[in-house]
Chain A
Amino acid sequence: SSELTQDPAVSVALGQTVRITCQGDSLRSYYASWYQQKPGQAPVLVIYGKNNRPSGIPDRFSGSSSGNTASLTITGAQAEDEADYYCNSRDSSGNLVVFGGGTKLTVL
Chain B
Amino acid sequence: EVQLVQSGAEVKKPGESLKISCKGSGYSFTSYWIGWVRQMPGKGLEWMGIIYPGDSDTRYSPSFQGQVTISADKSISTAYLQWSSLKASDTAMYYCVRHDSSGSDVDYWGQGTLVTVSS
Contacts and interface: CB of A to CB of B under 8 A. Distances in A.
Interface of A: 2, 30-31, 33, 35, 37, 42-45, 48-49, 54, 84, 86, 88-90, 95-102
Contacts, number: 64
Contacts of A101: 44
B74 to A, nearest CB: 21
A2 B37 CA distance: 14
Contacts of A2: 44
A44, A48, A90 pick with most chain B CB within 10 angstroms: A48
* Chain B, interface residues (CB within 8 Å), range: 20 to 34
A2 B44 CA distance: 10
B104 A89 contact: yes
Interface of B: 35, 37, 44-47, 50, 59-61, 95, 99-100, 102-107, 109-112
13 contacts: A31-B102, A33-B105, A37-B45, A42-B109, A43-B95, A43-B106, A45-B105, A49-B105, A86-B45, A90-B103, A99-B45, A99-B46, A102-B45
